[in-house]
Amino acid sequence: MDFGRLLDKHLENNLSPQEEEELSRTLSDSNNRDSILKFLNSQIRDLEVSPNQADNQDYDSIFRMVKLKIEKKKSLESENLIANKRRLVRRILIQVSSFAAIILVVFFMSGLFFAREKKNNLADTVKSGILNSISTPYGSISKLLLADGTEIIVNAGSSINYNSGYNINNRNITLEGEAYFRVNSETELPFMVSVGDLSIKSIGTTFNIKAYPDDGVIETTLIEGVIEIVKKGIGNTEVKFELMPNQKAIFLKKTDAVSVGDIIGNDPAAYFPSSETDKSIIVSKSIDIDQITAWTNNELVIKSEKLETLVIKLQRKYDVEFIFDDDKIKNYHFTGLLRNEPIEQVLNAICLSAPINFKVDGKSVLLTSKY
């Protein structure tokens, strides 16, 4: 594995399609972990970073040290163009947090997830400070460890974005989909998650956010600690409130009286945290933490759920598409626990519980009524 040669050519934007595939395979193969870390640590030692820092792989601390080093040497004339070029490559390697993030994701991922870097020149990334994007496809769950020690589990069909300044001057991320956060509190920087019109602020907490684009609501469930939720209002106005453990904030993207009535009906203790006139956010106290976070263990807890909404979760879990031949079967309710059962077994269980037939064609599942 000539990882150094491939990395040099990648940073120079000079990889052939075959070499690009080879670099991708090298990064995604967990058997290469030790070799890659050995290479990275050798580059760090060449920059005269202390061995303790190299062992801990604290890329943010290294970034700050290297940046200072670069500023001091800007006025010095180059004595050896080739040697300087290779040092620049090594500095970029440490500076660019997106590349470090990709390596961390590879080493901490679970399932079939591998985040391939977009085909952008890394030097342009350094200049522009664009967001780094980590995505999990349907049928997978991924785990990643951020530079500040915060752990995130990313559900299927979800993505996390953050700027290259993460853990340097901010801890801001954006989420699309669902993720479980265990936030490290050993820093003065607040941890901020942006989802649509909401911002969730935390210092050291454990919480779950579900915010798929095709869902009508955004759900934030607090497991430990305290979080502050901020909703953008008209103009520059904001609505702020705190969420306590074992509470769930439900934000309706489009306020609907029936939806509000259903939520209040299921939880009489639910309340509007801002005012009675704002019906877009409801705080619910009657929640089942185990049901909400079961997906982090690759489980799906189903409690009297309509087939219409159940198939959405099954699509994400099994990377399939459901097609209804008859709308009336969407209203059948199901209860159960799914772990790692194959999709055919799940479909058979559904058909045993309701008068439904199914037909699988590749990644499409046709559901029809028996009557």
Closest to 167 (Cα-Cα) out of 147, 145, 181 = 147
| Angle of CA points 95, 100, 102, to nearest 5° | 140
CATH fold for domain 105-287? Jelly Rolls (2.60.120)
DSSP string of 177-209? EEEEEE---SSSSPEEEEETTEEEEESS-EEEE
| Closest residue by Cα to residue 99 from 63, 69, 136 | 63
Q: Quote the tokens at residue 252.
A: 């309706």
- Residue 218 makes CB contacts below 8 A (sequence gap 6+) with 195, 196, 198, 209, 210, 211, 250, 251, 253
Q: What is the dihedral of CA 37, 38, 41, 43, to 10 degrees?
A: -110
Which parts of the chain sit beneath pLDDT 50? 1, 47-83, 85-128
The fold of the 299-369 domain, in CATH, is: Phage tail protein beta-alpha-beta fold (3.55.50)
Q: How far is CA 99 from CA 15, 46, 102, 106, 320, in A?
A: 16, 19, 5, 11, 31
The 10s digit of each residue's pLDDT in 187-222 is: 889 999 999 889 999 978 999 999 999 888 899 999
pLDDT at 142: 92
Domain boundaries, the chain: 1-95, 105-287, 299-369
pTM tops 0.85, yes or no: no
